[in-house]
Every structure is written in structure tokens, then in C-alpha cells.
Amino acid sequence: MTPVNPPVLSPSLRRGINLGNMLEAPKEGEWGLYVQEEYFELIKEAGFDFVRLPVRWSTHADESEPYAIDPAFFFRVDQVVDWALERDLVIIIDFHHYEEVMSDPWGNKERYLGIWKQVAERYQDYPSNVLFELLNEPNDQLNASLWNEYLLEALNVVRKTNPGREVILGPVNWNAYDWVNTLDVPNDEHIIVTFHYYLPFQFTHQGADWVEGSDPWLGTTWDGVDAEKAEITRHFDSVADWAQRHNVRILLGEFGAYSEAPQDSRLRWTEFVRSEAERRGFAWSYWEFAAGFGIYDPDAKVWREDLLKALIPQ
């Protein structure tokens, strides 16, 4: 007999891009960018095989049970997902910027699970190259102990309707590389563990207007000397060693250097981080497509070719 819910084969992830500052803004367009169909054509042609779609579901869901998601917003996400699938791109639906669950996990747990129930049901019949990411960068009051509890409950909600879908989860402290060892990884063959990497922070976030005190960092360089490379190598080795011990796949879900950093340093750092991820078999997705870290200029409608080549050598 054929099982009612046969296992779904894992799609391959290699090179991805985050569609940042779009659907995770409080309202689409509020941060200057809208998701456009032409972006997916460009991304595919450039050699990427997946996109990560940050979505601020919490802004579009009711405050009270059953926490209904706005139908118009759901249709918008459907449209974006379809644009990716039409071009054979894997797409990660990421639960992004749920600030309330970070500051008050206890008061938002049921809403968090209720939103995931709807998202999981909505996409249960979509192909296997739609992936779910349970929560972007858990932090603040959502500590490791609580997050291990919440992620398991969220995964159980997802598995009721999506028993074989690939699900991504990452550690607390903003998905920090050195917190992966706090994760209680569920016994589930369709799990991918993610971490984010923006170190040295004073280099990657110099001049970022949302980071208090970042202006004095302007002019910080990353020269690619042995000591700088060794630090990144050591960090990535620690993740790789942990992943091998726990038999899990790794996604470097975000990395990037802000546009205020010296461009030659940005290129060196980006190329090195990307190559170190690939050397260990990590999938990666660069932050991000067309905003402050972006590799595409949406006004001129051209790639920033030097950054693109740092990610996908020609």
C-alpha cells in the first residue's frame, strides 16, 4: 500500500538570496521595496537556486483567537511563492520580525502557534521546494530553554499537515553561530539548522542607522589577513563539528556587510564567508537583494557586478 503521507524528498539548497525589506516591513513598501516578479527571473538567471522570503506574519494576523491572517496578505504571499515556483526556485517562507514573541514569549505563544497552523494548512499541498522557517533570530526574553519548548510545539503543529516538508530552525541570540549547541534538535529527518553571520559586527554594520553608535565605526576595514580569516574559519568549524555530531544539514541563512563599509573590504569579506560556507557544505543565502546590503540596484535596474561575482564567481 502507498502511504497516505509519503515522505517528501529534500530539495537541494546551495546558493540563495534574501528578499529583505519587502514582506517583513510593517507594511509592504514601507521600507522602499516591493516584491516584483522580474526579481525572480533575475535571481534565477544569475545562478541562485533559492530565495528566502522574510514575512512579518504577526502584523497581518488578528490579536485574538483564532488569530486569522488577513486574506489579502495571504494572497500576496501566494503570488510571491508562485513566482518562485514558476522558475524552479526553492523558496523559504520565513517567520520574520515577530517582536512581541521576543519581548513577551508567554503572552504570545498561542498566537505564534495559531499563525503557524494557518500557514502550514495554507501550503500543505505545495511542492517540496517550499520550505518553512519557524522563527527568525529568537532573542530577548525568548531564551534557549523556552525556544526549545516552543520550536518543538511549532514543529508539531506543522507536521500535522506537512509531515515531510523541510523545516528550518535556528538558535537564540539572533541565530548566533556559537549558540547552535543550545538547540535541542528534534528527531526529524526533515530538519535544517540555520545560523546567521555578521562578524566582525563593527565592520558589517558600520554606519547602519538602526544600530546605535555605529557611525564611529565608519571606515573599518576587513583586509583578509590571516588572523581575520582564522577567526571566521574557527567559527565555521565549530558549527560544522556540531552539525556532524548531530547529523544535521546547515544553512547559513544570512550574511552580509552594509553598504557604508569600504567596498573592497565588503568584497573580500563576502567572498571569504561564502567560500568558507561552501567548503563545509553549508547552503547559504546572502542578506540581501536590493536594500542597504543589496547586490542589485533597483533604481538603475542593474546588478552590482562586483558583489554578485563575490557570491557567484563567473
pLDDT class of 8 with cuts at 50, 70, 90: very low
Residue 29's Cβ-side half-sphere holds a number of Cα atoms within 13 Å equal to: 2
- List Cβ<8 Å contacts ≥24 apart for 79-85: 80/19, 80/23, 80/35, 80/53, 81/53, 81/123, 81/126, 81/130, 83/35, 83/37, 83/40, 84/40, 84/51, 84/53, 85/126, 85/127, 85/129, 85/130
Please name the fold of domain 15-311.
TIM Barrel (3.20.20)
Give catalytic status of residue 37 as yes or no: no
pLDDT given at position 11? 58
| pLDDT tens-digit map of 200-216 | 999 999 999 999 999 99
Which one from 166, 254, 260, 276 is the annotated catalytic residue? 254
| pLDDT tens-digit map of 55-101 | 999 999 999 999 999 999 999 999 999 999 999 999 999 999 999 99
**What is the rounded CA–CA span in Å between residue 169 and residue 194?**
6
Work out the average pLDDT over 257-271.
98
pLDDT given at position 2? 31
| Domain map (residue ranges) of the chain | 15-311
pTM: 0.95
pLDDT given at position 9? 43
Question: What percent of the chain lies above the pLDDT cut of 70?
Answer: 96
Give catalytic status of residue 149 as yes or no: no
